[in-house]
Amino acid sequence: MFEKSKLAFAEASRYIPGGVDSPVRAFGSVGGTPPFIERGEGAYLFDIDGNRYIDFVQSWGPLIFGHCDKDIEEAVIETAKKGLSFGAPTELETELAKEIVTLFDSIDKVRFVNSGTEAVMSALRLARGFTGKNDIVKFAGCYHGHSDSLLVQAGSGAATFGTPSSPGVPEDLTKHTLLATYNDLESVKKCFQESGDIACVIIEPIAGNMGLVPASEEFLEGLRELCNEHGALLIFDEVMSGFRATLTGAQGITQVKPDLVTLGKVIGGGMPVGAFGGRIDIMERLSPEGPVYQAGTLSGNPVAMAAGLASLRKLKHNPAIYVELGKKAKRLMKGFKAAADAEEIPLVTEVRGSMFGYFFSDKEVKNFDDALSSDTETFAKFHSGMLRRGIYLACSAFETGFISTAMTDEMIEEAIIAAYETMREIRG
């Protein structure tokens, strides 16, 4: 079933570390060989062995209209004919910026970059430059890219100064990062007790990198109050949830207003892009208006801007899309849960708009420790069984799945049937 992919993986491993350009793609947590993809079409992926899959990963989120969407494809092709990059301003940047600023109450101005990692890295620098403070608070289990100051692991206490979780990251760069527990306000209060030098608190308001784990409204309200009290900025990392959970991401669900927001994924329509934006008094501190430096030769790349514009305008003109995507996500998770219950396999599920997640656990998952206590061995078996049945799911228990508009009710039903068969296989 995967003979050509096995050969391709072996060949890639000769020239690329681990055979992949992003670690999770190596299937290390689920075992087996990653299928090498040849093409995508709508809701489907096709690998080099000729296998077809219903794709519930959708390039980890950005393809809300599925693969090879006609409107996005045409926008990319027409723009590419005029040139791939100029390193100079284009009107496309302003058009996309207008769309974002118009939609988000919390964003007065926005700066485009090339990735989510770059967006967060820049937002943190801006927060430090604006407040004149050095420390940041992040939450165990929230992923904000691979910049040095964010690659930390939790220490012995609920709130501790971070230590590097990757070789190559000096402790001097992470000593200003404090770790707290997601959905636990007391752990954040301890961080503020530990340090009077906190510039910002950064959070995924809908965490998608420890599985799908939303923050409670009370927790977000508490963060807003703490930041106000201590003169720190509140940053929402919506690289994954922006334009995915709702048209305005988590901010379409919560009443809490952040000071800065990071975006990505959907605003590129499948092209590499990221962005950060916020209040005008904060954003005007950014170079060339202010002293906080940030730059990028390919930032605002015209092809990426065109893809993002096509994607956002389709979403803006068809808000009912989110209702339909949400219904499909809920139906899929209800089916997975029923399949697990039928075989007496513990499973908990979560849905936020077109995002879905599930843990093989008998308790609700509220933070990273809860996620880590889930049954990852059963997850790996489930992933393998579903893949063999043509269902392409996220290859880690700590990732999120996505529904696209290209998915039909019949596809959802096919995935549920595959789940019943796979759960039966696991139980047997």
The residues assigned a catalytic role are 143, 237, 265
- Cβ neighbours for 377, distance < 8 A, ≥ 6 positions apart: none
Helix, strand, or coil (residue 330): helix
Edge-to-edge strand ranges of the sheet holding 160-161: 109-113, 274-278, 260-264, 233-238, 198-203, 135-139, 177-180, 160-161
Up-side HSE of residue 363: CA atoms within 13 Å toward CB?
9
The label of the residue with tokens 């609700």 reads: 364
10 Å CB burial of residue 296 (0-12, 13-18, 19+) is middle
Query: What is the torsional sign of CA 96, 97, 100, 103?
Result: negative
Sequence-distant (≥ 6) Cβ neighbours of residue 158 within 8 angstroms:
180, 181, 184, 186, 187, 190
Tokens 């039928």 — which residue? Answer: 342
Q: How far apart are the first and last CA of the chain?
A: 23
Using a 10 angstrom Cβ sphere, with 0-12 exposed, 13-18 middle and 19 or more buried, the burial of residue 57 is: middle
Q: Is the separation of the CB atoms in 226 and 201 below 8 Å?
A: yes
Which of 215, 415, 243 is closest to 329 using CA atoms?
Answer: 415
Give 283's DSSP letter. H
Whether the bond into 288 is cis, omega within 30 of 0? yes
Contact 291, 125 (CB under 8 A): no
Which letter does DSSP use for residue 219 in this model? H
